[in-house]
Amino acid sequence: MTHIRPVVLMGARDDAHVSQLAQRLGQEGVVAHVVDTLTFPEETHLALTEQLDGIHVNGGPLKTPGAVYLRGYHAHPLAFGVDVRDEMDADWRTTLVAFREKSTLLRGLLGRWEAMGVPIYNPESTSWRMPKPVQLALLEQAGLPVPETLWTNDPSAVRRFAAGRRVAYKPVEGGGATLELGPGDLTDARLAALEAAPVTFQTLLPGEDIRVYVLDGEIIASVRILSHALDFRRNEERVEPFELPPKVARQCLQATRVLGLRWTGMDLKRDAEGTLRFLELNDSPMFLGFDARAGTDILGHLARGLARAARS
């Protein structure tokens, strides 16, 4: 007899990715429990005992889930959806300590499920590979095409890297704009900004943007983003399904394996010679926007994948 266990979704209850996934899981006959990480600890009550499976949510014991989907912890003042400006202005130190406590408990919770063998999309054990300075180096070491890149706060290293070619620069963490480095960016005054924070410098890739989704070792969607701007995210013009050449498809699956991800949305961009190079693999990619514009069904694939895990 197959045994259907619940699927836990960790994220904000009113994040459309969470709510629509919960609804689709319901259609698959699977119960979805949302652990609302945005309203924790104000609303959601969590209680963990010293036993690995001693996990209580809102007063009741939580059965060991069949699978866990992690959308986000909302455990940092800068996290999307978190608004603690007033709390930070009033007492930044206590606010940061509270976020750190919240983060440590939530990561501990996910770690318990990982220790119990629950499939997690994606697990804590792979998170150390996600920062781009290690991620891209691991891909490069595995023989995968990545752009020449420099993460640095060293002005002279930037000048050497930029000599004689077009260079893009962007935040180390991501989430900010990508811009082309100009002659005005190589002055002493401008490069002094590197004393505040390091920056990513990368060979500028002038070609098309491709987004590929992989779930449980299979490509479930690939799209091309057509835009005239350097950074596609605020400048989307058209998104259309894009069939990957077999070699690139194999590379995408290999990149997913190298980083140990069960599920990912990755960005590739074509260089001047026509090679698609990996910009990044995201461990909790958004997908509803691509489904809406390109007619893909990433939501359905993800729901069926989680349901499959919960049934086995």
Q: Which does 230 bind (CB under 5 to 8 A by kind): ligand ADP, Mg ion, none?
A: ligand ADP
Identify whether the C-beta of residue 228 lies closer than 8 Å to the C-beta of residue 279. no
Count of all residues that appear for the chain in the document: 312
Number of neighbours of residue 28 by Cβ within 10 angstroms: 17
Give, as ranges, the residues between 218 and 247 that touch ligand ADP (CB under 6 A). 230-232
Q: Rule CB under 6 A: is residue 269 a binding residue for ligand ADP?
A: yes
Residue nearest to ligand ADP (CB): 174
CB burial class (10 A; 0-12, 13-18, 19+) of residue 175?
A: exposed
- Under the binding rule (CB under 6 A), the answer on residue 204 touching ligand ADP is yes
User: Is the separation of the CB atoms in 142 and 253 below 8 Å?
Assistant: no
Q: How far is the CB of 231 from ligand ADP (least distance, A)?
A: 4
* Cis peptide bond prior to 122, omega within 30° of 0: yes
User: CB 167 → ligand ADP: shortest distance, Å?
Assistant: 8
For the bound state, the minimum distance from the C-beta of residue 105 to ligand ADP, rounded and expressed in Å, comes to 27
15, 36, 124, 267: which one binds ligand ADP (CB under 6 A): 267
- Write each residue from 153 to 192 as x if it is in contact with Mg ion (CB under 5 A), else as -, in one continuous string: ---------------------x------------------
Among residues 60, 143, 164, 175, the one that binds ligand ADP under rule CB under 6 A: 175
Under the binding rule (CB under 6 A), the answer on residue 279 touching ligand ADP is yes
Amino acid in the structure at residue 269: K
Nearest 5°: phi and psi at 12?
Answer: -80, 130
Instruction: Examine residue 58 and say whether the peptide bond preceding it is cis (omega within 30 degrees of 0).
Output: no
| Closest to ligand ADP by CB, 46 or 230 | 230
| Dmax (CA) of the chain | 70
| Run of H or E residues at 33 | strand 32-36
| Residues binding ligand ADP (CB under 6 A) | 147, 168, 170, 174-175, 178, 202-205, 209, 230-232, 267, 269, 279-280
